[in-house]
Amino acid sequence: EAQVTQNPRYLITVTGKKLTVTCSQNMNHEYMSWYRQDPGLGLRQIYYSMNVEVTDKGDVPEGYKVSRKEKRNFPLILESPSPNQTSLYFCASRITGYLNEKLFFGSGTQLSVL
Amino acid sequence: QKEVEQDPGPLSVPEGAIVSLNCTYSNSAFQYFMWYRQYSRKGPELLMYTYSSGNKEDGRFTAQVDKSSKYISLFIRDSQPSDSATYLCAMSARNAGNNRKLIWGLGTSLAVNP
């Protein structure tokens, strides 16, 4: 089954404790992206990657890191989480190319930073 | 002013009703228009995609784009309880680069009551 898999689904942590949210897709998509979703603010892009070893900042990259060492994986790293990073996080992927706009989303990671 | 405006609702309708969901936008460069459906505690999934102006129909769903008014709509005919979800509009510009960054509405929450 074609899918984007995120882990964990729920995570509660404390301020300053480094964490990684994993994302993996099995569709051989070049493009991958991380979003956070907050009430009243909607979906905001954190980072994106056009292909292996190619990453770039989205609209809200502060406090986050990413890496793209393999095509299928795109982990999101919070080196020193803070309470304002409490949010619902989504990983998404798609193929690149003209008129290929369909984003496939993971099921989300609900993060609480205390 | 936000680039994309969407009434968050909530919208509550009886089963079988025709539902109209709308977004307005300010950027005349937008060419790609999408509707995503998001069930509770799930990632968004692409429902309808339209390039430039006009109508597109898929089963009970019809997407309309009026570029002269900068207004897009999603109509749901014979609405079902399974249509209860949040509906997000999204759009991007033709020359937005490889990222083709999507600009998202905040989403409209829809409840279809049996």
- Tell me which residues of chain A have a C-beta less than 8 Å from any C-beta of chain B: 4, 40-43, 45, 48, 50, 56, 58, 90, 92, 96, 99, 101-103, 105-108
Tell me the residue type at A8.
P
| pLDDT of B28 above 80 | yes
| pLDDT of B87 above 90 | yes
Q: Cβ B49–A96 below 8 Å, yes or no?
A: no
Predicted pLDDT of residue B99: 65
Predicted pLDDT of residue B9: 87
Q: Cβ A105–B101 below 8 Å, yes or no?
A: no
Residues 6 or more apart whose Cβ sits within 8 Å of residue A39: none
Strand (E) or helix (H) holding A7: strand A4-7
Tell me the residue type at A4.
V
> Tens digit of pLDDT for each residue in A82-107?
999 999 999 999 987 766 678 999 99
Q: Which residue has the higher pLDDT, B54 or B23?
A: B23
Q: Give the count of beta carbons closer than 10 Å to the beta carbon of residue B12.
A: 12
Predicted pLDDT of residue B53: 82
In the predicted model, what is the mean pLDDT of chain A? 94
Smallest CA–CA distance, residue B106 to chain A, in Å, is 5
| pLDDT of B105 above 60 | yes
What one-character DSSP code corresponds to residue B30?
E
